[in-house]
Amino acid sequence: MVQSCAEASPAKWHLAHTTWFFETFVLSEFQPDYEPFHPDFQWLFNSYYNAVSEQPVKKLRASFSRPSLEEILAYRRHVNAAMERWIEDGVPDEVERRVRLGVHHEQQHQELLAYDIKNAFWSNPLRPAYCEGSLPVADKAASVEWIGHEGGLAEIGYGGDGFCFDNEQPRHKVYLKPFEMASRLVSCGEYLDFIRGGGYERADLWLSDGWDTVRTQGWRAPLYWFEEEGEWRVFTLRGAVDLREMLVAPVCHVSYYEADAFARWMGKRLPTEAEWEIAADGLSVEGNLLESENLHPIAARAGSGLQQMFGDVWEWTASAYLGYPGYAPPPGALGEYNGKFMSNQMVLRGGSAVTPASHLRSTYRNFFQPASRWQFSGVRLAKRQE
């Protein structure tokens, strides 16, 4: 039932809501003889689909002492059994499309669970670890190369035959000026230099709303960084770690405002989402992802070319989250999945250390509000080609 911050949801709620998705958008719509598990679950576990029903205020989810975990697990068994019986007999194309969407929706919530568990354990005075074992430690950071792109007319957006979210389409042309991207992510050590250089005290580095947020929230370091006996430590899903052991690992849990201020301090900028996608096009979805079981960013290996494009941290881009030219949300309640959030959000690319590999593509668009930093988010720099 723990809900430790405004962005989080209790683990029990995630289990119920992902079940609700299949019951609401598949079984209830396409199986006339389906019996809903409980009449109140349609509104109780609705997240934000106003076309379906009213829903409880998000911050109250921690107060759901009932239904019990036992009843929620019974709900999952009920819906799973109904889905399995139906799928065995074959389903219409539209149902198959929604089932695939539901599976990817559940993957998103599996990742959100990692965010929420980490914040819950961080908020616990005992600071417990989610799992045992140590993270890989590297002694030396990989050198930064600047990988150039000639720019010009290019296409972005999903154009294949497999699954994608509606916000990844339509595929369309963009014009890019020549640019360069850093070969690896910004490290904790480099971000520590920003802190020691007074980065959080210099208003000239920050967007106006970012500076207001810094002062209001009292930010002086990324989320989960804390000082103990004069030394910085970082809280991870494996417990607290001395920052000196992580200096060459990517910095994590920074907001868009912090990423943008750091880039400005470095005399660089964040890449646009079009630049990021063109740079990632053709790369395999490989890296420090959920399957690596590190559950935290790790240092880039020595080598040439772009590294860490997938996994480790979601990379903030300079692009606002908007619909592509010609975009229209799907009809009905499912149109609320992505389209209605195209305001006051920034795009992130590439996945994180808690994202499953099967969930990602070079066209995948994640999005969060610019002050948000409970997600596994970090920084890659870009600049105009010299």
Lowest mean pLDDT among 12-21, 80-89, 269-278, 320-329: 80-89
In whole angstroms, give the CA distance from residue 58 to residue 48: 9
Using only the alpha carbons of the chain, give its radius of gyration: 22
> What is the reported pLDDT for 88?
85
> What is the reported pLDDT for 304?
79
- pLDDT, tens digit, 9 for 90 and up, residues 80-92: 999 998 888 888 9
> What is the reported pLDDT for 212?
98
> What is the reported pLDDT for 20?
97
Q: Can you give the residue ranges of every domain in the chain? A: 11-123, 146-384
**Is the separation of the CB atoms in 112 and 145 below 8 Å?**
no
Residue of 261, 260, 267, 262 whose CA lies nearest to 386: 267
**Is the separation of the CB atoms in 20 and 41 below 8 Å?**
yes
What mean pLDDT is predicted for residues 312-318?
Answer: 98
In whole angstroms, give the CA distance from residue 232 to residue 209: 27
> What is the reported pLDDT for 335?
92
What mean pLDDT is predicted for residues 232-237?
Answer: 97
Given a cut of 80, whether residue 386 has pLDDT beyond it is no
In whole angstroms, give the CA distance from residue 141 to residue 256: 24
Largest Cα span, the chain: 66
| b/e sequence 312-328, b meaning 16+ C-beta within 10 Å | bbbbbbbbebeebeebe
In whole angstroms, give the CA distance from residue 112 to residue 355: 9
> What is the reported pLDDT for 95?
93
> What is the reported pLDDT for 130?
96
Class for domain 146-384, per CATH? alpha beta
What mean pLDDT is predicted for residues 297-308?
Answer: 90
Given a cut of 80, whether residue 198 has pLDDT beyond it is yes
pLDDT more than 70, % of the chain? 100
Lowest mean pLDDT among 83-87, 176-180, 206-210, 291-295: 83-87
What mean pLDDT is predicted for residues 329-341?
Answer: 92
> What is the reported pLDDT for 73?
98
As given in the structure block, the two tokens for residue 161 are 């035959």
> What is the reported pLDDT for 90?
84
What mean pLDDT is predicted for residues 295-311?
Answer: 92
What mean pLDDT is predicted for residues 102-113?
Answer: 97
What mean pLDDT is predicted for residues 201-206?
Answer: 98
Q: Is 225 helix (H, G, I), strand (E, B) or coil?
A: strand
| b/e sequence 106-143, b meaning 16+ C-beta within 10 Å | bbbbbbbbbbbbbbbbbeeeeeeeeeeeebeebeebbe
**Is the separation of the CB atoms in 296 and 237 below 8 Å?**
yes
Please, how many CA atoms are within 13 Å of residue 91, restricted to the half-sphere of its CB?
20
Length of the chain: 386
> What is the reported pLDDT for 137?
84
- Per DSSP, helices labelled H in 139-271 are 188-196, 208-217, 256-265
State the burial class of residue 346 (Cβ atoms within 10 Å of its Cβ: 0-12, 13-18, 19+). buried
What mean pLDDT is predicted for residues 74-78?
Answer: 98
Given a cut of 80, whether residue 139 has pLDDT beyond it is no
Residues 6+ apart with CB under 8 A from 294: 135, 136, 288, 353
As given in the structure block, the two tokens for residue 85 are 């019986």
Residue with tokens 């105009």: 384
pLDDT more than 90, % of the chain? 92
In which band, very low, low, confident or very high, does the pLDDT at 265 lie, cut at 50, 70 and 90?
A: very high
Mean pLDDT of the chain: 95
Lowest mean pLDDT among 5-19, 226-240, 277-291, 295-309: 295-309
In which band, very low, low, confident or very high, does the pLDDT at 301 lie, cut at 50, 70 and 90?
A: confident
Query: Amino acid identity, residue 155?
Result: E
